[in-house]
Chains A and B, each alone.
Chain A
Amino acid sequence: MSSDSNSGCGKEDCGCVSRRTVMKGVGVTLGAAAFARAIAPLTEWAQNISADEFLQKHYKELSLIDLKVVLRRLEKETKEHYGADVTISDTKPQEGVKFGYALNLSVCNGCRKCAEACHLENNHDRPSNQSYIRVFEMQKGSMDMEQGNAHYDKPVPQPDKFYMPVQCQQCEHPPCVDVCPVEATWKEPDGIVVVDYNWCIGCRYCEAACPYHARRFNWTKPVIPKEEINPDQGYLSNRIRPQGTMEKCTFCLHRTRNGRLPACLEACPTGARVFGNLLDPNSEIRWVLEHKRVFILKEDLGLKPQFFYFFDS
């Protein structure tokens, strides 16, 4: 550089430093400091991730043996982080089953018992009252869920209102899946849209894409008292989600894939919820679709939900 006429004072062997070199040096130092500060949360966050977790493959690429190792590791980590003994399983979709859900708006009274059951069943973060179900208080005569109020706290039902619980509609064409840049979310053969919480990068594109506001983000590490943790967990459903990942309703697939009813249905005191196999012509859900005045939310979007609303005629 000494031969460069722009460096220093221009004299050979002078030894002085140009203003430009000083500024470059300052720039590099500031840049490095800013970069270190910017990635500081990342290094802190990475301390909570084991090398095994960092190197874990995508769910769909895991062999059965890999998956077993992952499940045992996650159980161990839950014990370390939360002190609870849990069983994490991975029940596969059943052949010939496609799940459908219907909700009777004529009888729903807005008590939010379903949201509470979801909160408990799916090991949701306690301080944020998290739940996959949001119940909207709607003006009678209106059908626009964007006008609904999810924060009502007066005794229900109010005379001029009706109540509409909204959760993941398990769309046939899910926009949340389309926008995921890392394919961490997909639709299973039984119709459930799932998330690999260990593959999700937390960009929240899916949250923005969902017209039903059905996706949730874990802003913090979920806080759950040890004794309240539901030990019956599924890899793709209710295991405790890591911080910085997206989550959503899975129709309680750890229950429903074993033939059981979803937790929100069992909790409903009005019997407003109907669940079953859409491919079985004798199922109760099919009877509802064939005999009731059924509608779907935001039908104009063409997403073909597997969640239906109906009224008693």
Chain B
Amino acid sequence: MVDAHGKAVGIACVNCHATAKPNPQINRGDQLLKFHQGLHSAHGSLTCLSCHNAADYGSLRLADSRRVEFKDVMQLCGQCHGHQLESYKHGAHGGMNGHWDLTRGPRTRNTCTNCHDPHAPKFPLVQPIFPPRDRISVPLPERPVQKTHEYLPTKP
């Protein structure tokens, strides 16, 4: 479920999907007329039910029809993205926060969907943060305090 800005809202899927009967004819978000409009899908040839569990929308579904919880989405994505899963298991893929030394404090790790939109997982283009403004590259702007420059000759 998404709000007017297309952001996910905290409503359990089963709120609607407990009563709404799934239509297996529809396999892309943009074909839906009532809900999930504008859901952009750019994830290979996957359809909704490749990952969503039609028998229980509160969970996901592995390729062998086993049920998997949303929080264990790494298992689902790892079915195709094995190299990434292997790196993830060894802390070499996916952002994290907290401690490197787990004997001294906890650490939180991102899951796949914290960073990748599952429906369009490729990272979007982003505008980079400010570039450096070193003296070796570009002149500095006017500064509030520049005492050392008071001794430079002023132009006539």
- For B92, B96, B127, B135, the residue with the greatest tally of chain A CB atoms inside 10 Å of its CB is B92
| Selected contact of A269 from candidates B90, B95, B130, CB within 8 Å | B95
Binds B, one of A50-58, A62-70, A112-120, A231-239: A112-120
| Selected contact of A313 from candidates B83, B132, B134, CB within 8 Å | B83
Measured in the bound complex, the distance between the Cα atoms of B149 and A40 in whole Å is: 12
Contact A127 B115 (CB under 8 A): no
Interface code B5-35, partner A: CB below 8 Å = 1, 0 otherwise? Answer: 0000000000000000000000000000000
Contact B145 A223 (CB under 8 A): yes
Binds B, one of A169-177, A180-188, A284-292: A284-292
Binds B, one of A1-9, A72-80, A138-146, A274-282: A274-282
- For A40, A150, A151, A259, the residue with the greatest tally of chain B CB atoms inside 10 Å of its CB is A259
| Selected contact of A155 from candidates B100, B125, B140, CB within 8 Å | B125
Given the known A-B contacts A288-B90, A292-B92, are A276 and B129 also in contact in the complex, defined by CB atoms under 8 Å? no
- For B101, B103, B105, the residue with the greatest tally of chain A CB atoms inside 10 Å of its CB is B101
> Within 8 Å CB of A87, what residues of B?
none
Q: For chain A, give the interface size range.
A: 35 or more
Contact B105 A259 (CB under 8 A): yes
Contact A219 B135 (CB under 8 A): yes
Q: Is the interface of B mostly helix, strand, loop or mixed?
A: loop
Q: For chain B, give the interface size range.
A: 35 or more
Where the two chains meet, the residues of A that have a C-beta atom closer than 8 Å to any C-beta of B are: 37, 40-41, 44-45, 102, 104, 107, 109-113, 115-116, 127-131, 134-135, 150-153, 155-157, 216, 219-221, 223, 243, 256, 258-261, 265-266, 268-271, 274-277, 284, 287-288, 291-292, 312-313
Additional pairs, 14, CB under 8 Å, beyond known A110-B128, A287-B91: A102-B92, A112-B131, A129-B130, A129-B133, A134-B132, A156-B125, A156-B128, A219-B148, A256-B100, A258-B104, A259-B105, A270-B95, A271-B94, A284-B92
